[in-house]
């Protein structure tokens, strides 16, 4: 078993305090749907755990939660002291609106209700000694993202894109959003980077080439890794057993392990949170 690394709490947005039981919150964003952000989230969380960290996942997609299925959740959260205990999947603490409603129930909610649901899931869950809480954001830059930026203490964000130009356009919007609220961008993950033929081994860049590198260079961040377009990745999350768990020694798992190490190193270089180290001053009335 990998030894647990020493992970520090890092600074969050001005006016916000770190969440109890959580050292760092990392938002995973894409700007565009269909780029495999939730698949990357699930595998990255498991890769961070494989590196020895204690990890949680909050599924912030209220309208289309996918993490319960991807992580193979089979139970609902228990309640303790009027708060919810996270559902543990493959050793990861998780919370999702998908645990609280029936699978085929549509969430016909307006923005304020969605934002409130996100805050309740975040604050009313008894997260237990997490090094990293990974938040799987829905696509776009709307109500959920605004709530996240204003009211959720984020240590950093990671942007997922595919190489194609339309995905890069939306990824830029996501990066600009985090820049406006001064949340550090750790880097970019290029998903569906290439397809390798299972018969001859030829690499085919179905969605173009170099997109992740171009956007990373534009914003002065790193490309954390390039994940191939491969059928087993999709099949394994559909079965509730993501690649990092299903095939821990395989090539794709090692790519996610490399991304996890990059994330840990990049976050370690950000400003640390020293608020807990300052003494509390108490003023008492003299005798």
What is the average pLDDT value for the chain, to the nearest integer? 88
pLDDT, residue 284, reads: 63
Residue 114 resides in a domain: yes
Residue 211 pLDDT greater than 90, yes or no: no
- Is residue 121 within 8 Å of residue 58, measured between CB atoms? yes
Residue 8 resides in a domain: no
Query: What pLDDT digit, counting tens, does each position of 239-253 carry?
Result: 999 999 999 999 999
Residue 277 pLDDT greater than 60, yes or no: no
Q: What's the pTM?
A: 0.90
Residue 6 resides in a domain: no
Q: What are phi and psi of 19, to 5 degrees?
A: -75, 135
**pLDDT band for position 272 (cuts 50, 70, 90):** confident
- Is residue 246 within 8 Å of residue 40, measured between CB atoms? no
Query: What pLDDT digit, counting tens, does each position of 43-90 carry?
Result: 999 999 999 999 999 999 988 899 999 999 989 999 998 899 999 999
| CA 263 to each of CA 32, 93, 185, 221: distance values in angstroms, whole numbers, following the listed order | 22, 19, 10, 12
Residue 255 resides in a domain: yes
pLDDT, residue 1, reads: 55
Residue 19 resides in a domain: no
Domain range holding 120? 25-277
pLDDT, residue 274, reads: 65
Residue 55 resides in a domain: yes
- Domain at 248, CATH number: 3.40.50.300
Query: What pLDDT digit, counting tens, does each position of 127-186 carry?
Result: 999 999 999 998 877 778 878 888 899 999 999 998 888 788 888 988 998 898 889 999
Residue 132 resides in a domain: yes
**Structural domain total, the chain:** 1
**pLDDT band for position 287 (cuts 50, 70, 90):** very low
């Amino acid at each position: 078993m990998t030894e647990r690394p020493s992970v520090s709490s890092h600074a969050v947005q001005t006016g916000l305090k770190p969440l109890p039981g959580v050292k760092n919150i990392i938002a995973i964003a894409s700007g565009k749907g269909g780029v495999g952000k939730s698949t990357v989230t699930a595998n990255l969380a498991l890769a961070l755990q494989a590196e020895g960290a204690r990890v949680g996942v909050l599924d912030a997609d209220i309208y289309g939660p996918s993490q319960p299925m991807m992580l193979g959740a089979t139970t609902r959260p228990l309640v303790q002291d009027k708060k919810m205990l996270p559902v543990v999947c493959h050793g990861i603490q998780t919370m999702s609106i998908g645990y609280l409603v029936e699978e085929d129930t549509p969430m016909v909610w307006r923005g304020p209700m969605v934002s409130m649901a996100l805050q309740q899931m975040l604050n009313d869950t008894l997260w237990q000694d997490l090094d990293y809480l990974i938040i799987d954001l829905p696509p776009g830059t709307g109500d959920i993202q605004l709530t996240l930026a204003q009211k959720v203490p984020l240590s950093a964000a990671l942007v997922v894109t595919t190489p194609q130009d339309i995905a890069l356009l939306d990824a830029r919007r996501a990066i600009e959003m985090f820049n406006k609220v001064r949340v550090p961008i750790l880097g970019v993950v290029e998903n569906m980077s290439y397809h390798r033929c299972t018969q001859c081994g030829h690499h085919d860049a179905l969605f173009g080439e170099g997109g992740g590198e171009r956007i990373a260079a534009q914003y002065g961040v790193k490309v954390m890794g390039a994940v191939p377009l491969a059928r087993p990745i999709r099949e394994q999350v559909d079965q509730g057993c993501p690649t990092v768990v299903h095939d821990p020694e395989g090539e794709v798992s090692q790519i996610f392990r490399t991304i996890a190490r990059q994330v840990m190193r990049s976050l370690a270089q950000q400003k640390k949170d020293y608020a807990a180290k300052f003494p509390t001053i108490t003023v008492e009335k003299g005798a």
